[in-house]
Chain A
Amino acid sequence: MNHLMIMPIVIPLLTGAFLLVMYRYNIGRQRSLSIGSTLLLVIFAVWAILQAGVSDYTLYRLGNWQPPFGIVLVLDRLSAIMLLLTALLSLFCVLYASRGSDREGSHFHALLQFQLMGINGAFLTGDLFNLFVFFEVLLIASYALLLHGGGRARSRAGLHYVVINLAGSALFLLALGILYGLTGTLNMADLARVIATAPEADLPLLKAASLLLMVVFGIKAALLPLLFWLPRAYSAASAPVAALFAIMTKVGFYAMVRVFLVVFGLDEGSPANDTVLAWLWPMALITLSLGGIGVLGASSLRTLTAYMVIVSVGILLATMSRNDEQLLAASLFYLLHSTCMTAVFFLLADLIGRYRENGYDRFSVISPLSHRWILGTVFLVAAVSMASLPPFSGFVSKAWILQSSSTLPDYLWLWAPILISGLLIIAALSRAGSGWFWRPEELADKAAPALDGARTATVCVMIAISFSLAIFAQPVMDYLEAAARLIYEPSGYVEAVLGDYVGQSREVTE
């Protein structure tokens, strides 16, 4: 058993706990600890990517208890990708926050580490109840992070966010209770095995449980009727926190893929699964359209970015609900691109807002801006990438989504909202850019504060990563295709996790 696998959970846990105890440390030490921990996470995530490339499933049995009795961590290509994305994103968020935003309130770095622990745990766990626990860990850290810095807007947005997520947790437990009552297990692989052979009489309850889970993950991912907390919360959060939250909706997406495609997907054409996917398809499309409208109507860059998060969620869930292997691989590529770019825009809104004389990131205010050329260029490049124009990763991912969905019978339903929302994003971003960089005067040099090199560099490196995703698209696409193939072979997952146990129980029953 390889103990490296639990490191993405243990490292942030220990760092976070240590930072809490040592909160009197000067901020410099806290920062270097936090940066060191996230750097370690990046290294472990790279190891996870390599490991998952070598062997399809790597198991870690906590306390060496045999699954399905003990909790098991499962590393496959999908979780490895999510781990690397989280680690890189958090590294940039910590670097950006270390330029001063972490001083607005206390315990920023400790909370961020706990949040990372929850996210990494949710990506690794192979047990449904353990998934609930890690969800709670990441949620309670995110509640505190959202409120970081204080202020009326944050309290108001935080209250909505906390209450809707607490209601979601209650529903999650109800779904888990139903599943346990029916199957007597909460291990994902064992659950998949039992659900595949469930008697006809259990189907209505299974459907109820899976729809409840859809609501729960829909709250996390911001699916249509459950997304109204998102724009306010994300635009109220401080910039590095909002950038880190770009991964949070993707946790909901990941949980949906894992639960609906793997756990409920073992049985060919499983009825419980079909119900969920049939609900997801139209709701995701409406989410996507609503996001597009919101992008156009947003009054500040942060709100605009929050709606771009909603657009990306709509695209991800719509492509996932078509239940197609190629399309899932394409949407995973889009996930990498959209997480990276929405995070860039949250940081960029803060960066540009700092150098505007007044109005921060609001569009309605025409205000003189310092460092117009540098900031304008960065914004232009980021906008081109966000709007999915070549030569950036957004173009590759959307082209791949459109190409692989063209074989589906109802592909036009997907193409129309994706392309129209892309157009709306282009319109909104060019309006924002021209209003900010063309119309106002350059601020007089004396009054202008010096450009913060580290903050700008962080944003530039993130954009460069999005660019390199397009350059090295082939190996990334190969990896993602392999990841999607594993998702669509749930029997391999069950075999890998349960292994001997299934054989033994067969012998007993025979």
Chain B
Amino acid sequence: MELVIAITLGVLTTTGVYLILRARTFSVVLGLTLLSHGVNLFLFSMGRLTTASPAVIGLVENYTDPLPQALVLTAIVISFSMTAFVVVLALKAAVELRSDHVDGEDPNEDRQ
């Protein structure tokens, strides 16, 4: 399971970072979403990876640490709302600036 999680984290983060560095706002927003998924998964795995142990005391002998789950919940809510905000902002910028380039204008536009 550690290997699967590690590979997933790596893929999410790599694609996230790659997309954030793209020039169009849509891919940047996608990149931020993937990165935040990666971060949430990472936070979750910081409570150590175990199977068949719920975060409840008394049910089983080895219960999971509930705190990372609470942290992930908070982080998901925040990143979700931030994504919604950045989508609207990107749309607003694309309409106002008539370009979906992150700088508001395509630096190569004049050459074409």
* A interface residue numbers (CB < 8 A to B): 129, 133, 136, 140, 143, 147, 151-152, 155-156, 158-160, 162-163, 166-167, 169-170, 173-174, 176-178, 180-181, 184
Contacts and interface: CB of A to CB of B under 8 A. Distances in A.
A176 B40 CA distance: 11
B43 A166 contact: no
Interface residues of B, number: 34
B11 to A, nearest CB: 16
Given A129-B71, A163-B20, 11 more contacts: A129-B74, A136-B82, A143-B85, A151-B96, A162-B82, A169-B79, A170-B36, A170-B39, A173-B42, A177-B42, A178-B46
6 contacts: A159-B90, A162-B85, A166-B86, A173-B40, A176-B71, A181-B46
Contact of B104 (A129, A133, A152, A178): A152
A158 B86 CA distance: 10
A169 B78 CA distance: 10
Given A166-B82, A169-B79, A155 B89 contact: yes
Question: Which DSSP category, helix, strand, loop or mixed, fits chain A's interface?
Answer: helix
A173 B78 CA distance: 11
A174 B45 CA distance: 11
B102 A163 contact: yes
Contact of B93 (A159, A167, A170, A178): A159
Contacts of A159: 25, 89-90, 93, 102, 104
Given A129-B71, A133-B74, A159-B25, A143 B89 contact: yes
A137 to B, nearest CB: 9
Contacts of A180: 43, 46, 67-68, 71
Interface string B39-78: 1101100101000000000000000010110010011001
Given A159-B93, A159-B102, A140 B82 contact: yes
A79 B71 CA distance: 25
Contacts of B81: 140
A497 B8 CA distance: 39
Contacts of A151: 96
A507 to B, nearest CB: 23
B97 interface: yes
B35 A162 contact: no
A125 to B, nearest CB: 14
A174 B39 contact: yes
A159 B89 CA distance: 7
Nearest to A165: B82
Nearest to B20: A167
Among A136, A160, A162, A170, max chain B CB count under 10 A is at A170
Contacts of B93: 155-156, 158-159
B45 to A, nearest CB: 8
Nearest to A159: B93
Among B79, B93, B97, max chain A CB count under 10 A is at B93
Contacts, number: 85
A160 B93 CA distance: 11
A169 B20 CA distance: 14
A129 B69 CA distance: 13
Contacts of B67: 180
Contacts of B102: 159-160, 163
A152 to B, nearest CB: 5
Nearest to A152: B96
Contact of A162 (B39, B74, B78, B86): B86
B96 A177 contact: no
Contacts of A167: 20, 32, 35
A156 B104 contact: yes
Contacts of A170: 32, 35-36, 38-39, 79
B106 interface: no
Contacts of A184: 65
A163 B86 contact: yes
A143 B96 CA distance: 17
Contact of B39 (A140, A143, A147, A173): A173
A153 to B, nearest CB: 9
A151 B96 CA distance: 8
A317 to B, nearest CB: 26
A177 B43 contact: yes
Contact of B92 (A129, A155, A169, A173): A155
A147 B79 CA distance: 20
Interface in B79-112: 79, 81-82, 85-86, 89-90, 92-93, 96-97, 102-104
Contacts of B43: 173, 176-177, 180
Nearest to B37: A170
Nearest to A151: B96
Nearest to A69: B67
A147 B93 CA distance: 11
A152 B103 CA distance: 11
| A-B complex: 7 closest residue pairs judged by Cβ atoms | A181-B46, A156-B104, A155-B93, A177-B43, A177-B46, A173-B39, A170-B39
B35 A155 contact: no
A376 B28 CA distance: 46
B28 A155 contact: no
Nearest to A144: B85
Contacts of B38: 170
